[in-house]
């Protein structure tokens, strides 16, 4: 027995050392490398299991060929090219060029934007548009719950499919782990094309469990698009544990719908292998929206060369002159974003971060507190939202640019997840977002450096700092 024990120990040490070398050779951010080295070194066996499921880097993988990507982008590019008198507002040119050059996120003008801050308003609008659908419905969501709201949406989609409308649904396999297969089978049996994103089956796809499709997109008839932070679940309407759910979602009518459609069809090709480039999915706009509201739909993923949305946030923070206001449910910023916040605040920019007073994940809440303390020391103003869970993901800057989508200010959104945000360049729309932020502040507690340092005992602060080391993995 002792002989077998030493063989096991020797093999285990070799595996750990080889894994640590692999982590080092990936050339990740030092903080993330150190986090994984610590997990592998100080968490026997568990560390290896965690790395197998969550640690393998896919950024260098090419999951969609460039030729296929070009074909999927061609139609939206043609629609972009036929625009006339496209004017990017002063002060936004470099950000627009950044997204266009590295993400193929083309700017589109002539857009009408409706902003929803409650699940009731969002789903009422979504259901109305689905009920009016004539040709196609494309839904891409992280969570499609089988609760009463999910069942209602499923019934509506089934009815539309029976009317002859093409219905395609993408759901994230991990986000819907608790949803029984029969729920999706019922939709498939009714003629709906339903596909899971990166299904996790042991052992074939276990290394992909960490890379999830967190996008929330819907395109109806190629004319109306939805994008934001709300999944399909009853809690987005009713709240949880007696507390309200505060979120933000957008309905867009106009040129930017072409870009939302492109994002969906790229995801559809990824999950189904079906290349859809037909002109009918990019119908000619009705022409009833004529304005200078310019929108880019920016996506990011762990398999793209650069973390595009994160770089956009950094660019906004570094170019800000007066203010940057951010709402996020999870605050575990990468060092790049953290540095940009510090620089902006120290340069006199009014940087404000709003997070929930109580999160829905204790480890994340503990880890975020040390970041909160650090940002406050640099002059960033931090607000804790009281009434319920703040799931809103928005940013507004200088009355020039605002963004809303699925991206949280954390490692997972910036580096691991497939995300999508609408970046809007328009003063009036930005002022609407600004007013939403200021209204939310009325429901917040302002956090001071003294409050944090006084109320937290040493043991708690030490624990938060230890948990912070795992931030890149949370």
Question: Residues 48, 54, 59, CA angle at the centre, nearest 5°?
Answer: 120
Q: Is 146 a catalytic residue?
A: no
**Which is catalytic among the residues 32, 146, 381, 393?**
393
Distant-in-sequence, close-in-space partners of 373: CB < 8 Å, separation ≥ 6: 449, 452, 453
Residue whose entry in the numeric block shows the structure tokens 């709300």? 230
Could you tell me whether strands 224-228 and 193-197 are parallel, antiparallel, or unpaired per DSSP bridges?
A: unpaired
Spell out the long-range contacts of 229-232 with Cβ–Cβ below 8 A and sequence spacing 24 or more: 229/391, 229/392, 229/393, 229/404, 229/405, 229/406, 230/116, 230/119, 230/122, 230/123, 230/391, 231/141, 231/142, 231/143, 231/144, 231/145, 231/175, 232/141, 232/143, 232/144, 232/145, 232/149, 232/150, 232/153
Q: Is 391 a catalytic residue?
A: yes
The answer to whether the beta carbons of residues 91 and 293 sit under 8 Å apart is no
Could you tell me whether strands 419-425 and 401-405 are parallel, antiparallel, or unpaired per DSSP bridges?
A: antiparallel
Q: Is 251 a catalytic residue?
A: no
Q: Is 398 a catalytic residue?
A: yes
Q: Is 147 a catalytic residue?
A: no
**Which is catalytic among the residues 398, 410, 426, 440?**
398
Closest to 452 (Cα-Cα) out of 393, 386, 382, 401: 382
| Phi, psi angles (nearest 5°) of residue 404 | -145, 140
**Which is catalytic among the residues 57, 110, 140, 221?**
221
Q: Is 234 a catalytic residue?
A: no
DSSP 280: G
**Which is catalytic among the residues 32, 146, 216, 234?**
216
**Which is catalytic among the residues 57, 391, 426, 440?**
391
**Which is catalytic among the residues 32, 208, 214, 434?**
214
Q: How far is CA 358 from the centre of its chain?
A: 20
**Residues designated catalytic:** 214, 216, 221, 391, 393, 398
């Amino acid at each position: 027995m002792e002989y077998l024990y030493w063989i096991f120990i020797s093999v285990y040490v070799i595996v750990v050392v080889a894994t640590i070398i692999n982590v080092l050779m990936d050339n990740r951010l030092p903080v993330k490398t150190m986090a994984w080295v610590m997990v592998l070194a100080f968490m026997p066996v568990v560390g290896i299991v965690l790395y197998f499921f969550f640690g393998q880097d896919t950024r260098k993988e090419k999951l969609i060929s460039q030729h296929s990507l070009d074909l999927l982008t061609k139609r939206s590019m043609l629609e972009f090219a036929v625009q006339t008198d496209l004017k990017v507002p002063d002060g936004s040119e470099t950000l627009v060029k950044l997204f266009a050059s590295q993400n193929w996120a083309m700017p589109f003008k002539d857009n009408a934007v409706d902003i929803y801050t409650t699940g009731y308003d969002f789903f009422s609008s979504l259901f109305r548009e689905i009920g009016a659908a004539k040709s196609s419905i494309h839904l891409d969501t992280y969570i499609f719950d089988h609760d009463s709201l999910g069942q209602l949406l499923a019934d509506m989609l089934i009815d539309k499919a029976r009317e002859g409308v093409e219905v395609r649904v993408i759901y994230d396999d991990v986000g819907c782990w608790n949803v029984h297969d029969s729920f999706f089978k019922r939709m498939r049996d009714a003629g709906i094309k339903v596909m899971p994103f990166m299904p996790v089956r042991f052992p074939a796809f276990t290394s992909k469990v960490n890379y999830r499709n967190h996008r929330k997109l819907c395109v109806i008839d190629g004319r109306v698009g939805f994008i934001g932070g709300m999944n399909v679940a009853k809690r987005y309407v009713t709240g949880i544990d007696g507390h309200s759910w505060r979120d933000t979602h957008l309905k867009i009518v106009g040129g930017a719908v072409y870009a939302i459609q492109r994002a969906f069809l790229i995801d559809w090709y990824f999950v189904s292998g079906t290349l859809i480039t037909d002109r009918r999915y990019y119908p000619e706009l009705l022409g009833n929206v004529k304005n200078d509201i310019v929108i880019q739909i920016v996506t990011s993923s762990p398999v793209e060369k650069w973390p595009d949305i994160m770089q956009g946030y950094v660019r906004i923070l570094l170019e800000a002159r007066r203010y940057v206001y951010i709402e996020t449910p999870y605050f575990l910023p990468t060092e790049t974003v953290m540095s940009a916040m510090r620089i902006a605040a120290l340069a006199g920019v009014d940087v404000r971060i709003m997070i929930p007073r109580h999160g829905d994940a204790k480890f994340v809440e503990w880890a975020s507190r040390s970041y909160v303390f650090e940002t406050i020391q640099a002059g960033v103003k931090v607000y804790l939202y009281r009434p319920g869970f703040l799931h809103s993901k928005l940013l507004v800057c200088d009355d020039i640019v605002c963004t809303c989508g699925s991206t949280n200010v954390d490692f997972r959104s910036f580096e691991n997840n497939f995300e999508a945000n609408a970046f809007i360049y328009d003063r009036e729309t930005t002022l609407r977002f600004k007013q939403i932020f200021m209204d939310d502040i009325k429901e917040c507690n302002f956090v001071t450096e003294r409050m944090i340092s006084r109320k937290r005992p040493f043991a708690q602060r030490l624990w938060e700092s230890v948990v912070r080391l795992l931030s890149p993995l949370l």
